[in-house]
Chains A and B, each alone.
Chain A
């Protein structure tokens, strides 16, 4: 079963705009990671945020984590057509060994 849920399920924006997607999860976590998946391909790791961190940046990516609300957000600034992909959050839940639980994903379309 899926641990997390991304919101929105689909997002369409113009190139240059910012894209924000959210992830909610169910149980306490060690860390949360975001991945990107282009259509029919494998997943690419974007960024990891630990449970004791609140915000992290990597290039055009900004991730926040609110453990009290069990939620995270991924912001992509100045989006490009190449950012078109599905984005998943994955949690490394406490007490589950090393199982990663992925959300259902947000499908992002950036229109040139």
Chain B
């Protein structure tokens, strides 16, 4: 399968614990995005990378959230000291950005986080 993959698909944790999610984008894609989606809402942008550089971060992304894409391939999203309000679906998407082209993002299946 050559789509975007995310791991784990589900994560249950206790408040205050740290969690890390992984995203493997489509192999030739240079851009990688993280979104958060809560029930009944559309995805909300968190951050994105062009290759290994993190180019934008949403104001939604508190200091407890950090994302990396060390070699311009897979990415990790870490949440420290989780809170119940962090419970959501975390979606990863990737795209191939070329000059002048519109950016179609391809999404992974998501990681559903439940903070108890």
Chain A residues in contact with chain B, CB under 8 A? 1-2, 4, 30-31, 33, 35, 40-45, 48, 50, 88, 90, 92, 97-105
Contacts and interface: CB of A to CB of B under 8 A. Distances in A.
Contacts of A99: 45, 48, 56, 58
B21 interface: no
Contacts of B33: 98, 100
A42 B110 contact: yes
29 contacts: A2-B42, A4-B42, A35-B107, A42-B91, A42-B107, A43-B43, A43-B91, A43-B93, A43-B107, A44-B107, A45-B104, A45-B105, A45-B107, A48-B102, A88-B43, A90-B42, A92-B102, A97-B55, A98-B33, A98-B55, A98-B103, A99-B45, A99-B56, A99-B58, A100-B45, A102-B42, A102-B44, A104-B41, A105-B41
A91 B48 CA distance: 16
Contacts of A102: 35, 42-44
Contacts of A97: 55-56
Interface in B35-62: 35, 40-45, 48, 55-56, 58
Interface string B80-116: 0000000001010100010000111111111010000
Interface of B: 4, 31, 33, 35, 40-45, 48, 55-56, 58, 89, 91, 93, 97, 102-110, 112
B7 to A, nearest CB: 13
Contacts of A50: 102
Contacts of B42: 2, 4, 88, 90, 102-105
A30 B102 contact: yes
A112 to B, nearest CB: 25
Contacts of B58: 99
Nearest to B56: A97
